Amino acid sequence: MIAILHILLGIILGVVFLALAVVLFCKRAAKKVLHPKAKRKPLFAWPDEFGLAYENVTFQTADHIALKGWWIPAENSHKTIILMHGWGMNRSSILPYTCFLRDLGYNLFYFDFRALGESGGDTSSIGYLELKDVRAAVEFLKKTYPKQCEKIGLYGLSLGGMVALGEAAHNPEIACVVAEAPYYSFRRVVSRWAWIHYHLPYFPLLPIVLHYIRRELKANPERYSPKYTISKIAPRPLFIVHGRYDNLVPAAHARRLYRQAGEPKSLWLVPGAKHDKCGEMGGFTYKQKLADFFRTYL
């Protein structure tokens, strides 16, 4: 009898220690998502390398985070495109494939999201907090360059695509949106990231990780996912660009978002492109399609 009790006690202690280890692991995983120190990379390209004059700018978010960016003016233009990068990237990551838009007569505004690039802050929420960043960017532009920002369009890649969709749904002043590789839902993209990098199955660990993310943010970022906001953009035009072979955000996400969006809308699945490689793989066609969209709607 005593031996059986010892065995049962050992099993109970083993389960308790295992549960504590799982909780500790999930807490650390949540911190890796929200505090991606390793993802803060230095800039590697600047507008003057592409023959573009620019201004370095700094502006504040509503929660007092200092964000860094570039203002690239076009001569006598009242149309501006705000361009937003992905998670683990910075504004120089999207500059080479999009700066050609200045020569089409658009003012361009690039900035680093919080906790990335040269911007302040140490928490990156993959969307929820970054919505505050783009709203601060719009307010800064309208106040600082009012004549140049009579019409505003948005371009966003991955995280930036999600933010572009969310801001357009919230702000009727946004004239049109290009969303490249946006995710369908926060829960799905975090689950996919965990599987690709750590081979973690969704159950039972991911619900715990997501719990600690919600707890630290004091909000549920899933509620701000594009699947809940994209239908609010119409009748303003939307162009979804996605890699056909995207390994992080499967092309199925783009198809779901496209079905839920209102008209006018268009979808282009770039042949051979993986995540954040549409500009590289799309080449001239990529630039032509972006140019045609903005010429038509902005």
> Which domains does the chain possess?
50-185+225-297 (3.40.50.1820)
Mean pLDDT of 144-159: 97
Instruction: Provide the token pair at 29.
Output: 């995983």
* Whole-number Å distance between alpha carbons of 91 and 110: 6
Count, residues in the chain: 298
Taking the whole predicted model, whether its pTM rises above 0.75 is answered as yes
End-to-end CA distance of the chain: 81
> Per-residue pLDDT for 297 more than 60?
yes
> Residues 55-63: contacts with CB within 8 Å, 24+ apart?
57/111, 57/140, 57/144, 59/111, 59/136, 59/137, 59/140, 60/136, 61/114, 61/132, 61/133, 61/135, 61/136, 62/132, 62/135, 62/136, 63/129, 63/132
- Among 9-18, 30-39, 71-80, 232-241, the range scoring the smallest mean pLDDT is 9-18
Mean pLDDT of 12-33: 62
At residue 201 the predicted structure's pLDDT band, cuts being 50, 70 and 90, is: confident
User: Which positions ≥6 away from 253 have C-beta within 8 Å?
Assistant: 182, 183, 184, 188, 242
* Whole-number Å distance between alpha carbons of 258 and 264: 11
Give, as one character, the DSSP assignment of residue 223: G
Percent of the chain at pLDDT exceeding 90? 73
* Whole-number Å distance between alpha carbons of 232 and 170: 8
Q: Residue 283 has what pLDDT?
A: 96
At residue 112 the predicted structure's pLDDT band, cuts being 50, 70 and 90, is: very high
Q: Residue 174 has what pLDDT?
A: 98
Mean pLDDT of 191-216: 78
* Whole-number Å distance between alpha carbons of 70 and 92: 10
> Per-residue pLDDT for 14 more than 60?
no
* Whole-number Å distance between alpha carbons of 270 and 276: 11
At residue 193 the predicted structure's pLDDT band, cuts being 50, 70 and 90, is: confident
Residue-averaged pLDDT of the chain: 90
> Per-residue pLDDT for 93 more than 90?
yes
Helices 91-98, 278-297: inter-axial angle, 10-degree rounding: 70
At residue 30 the predicted structure's pLDDT band, cuts being 50, 70 and 90, is: confident
Contact 61, 114 (CB under 8 A): yes
Contact 201, 21 (CB under 8 A): no
At residue 213 the predicted structure's pLDDT band, cuts being 50, 70 and 90, is: confident
Q: Residue 273 has what pLDDT?
A: 97
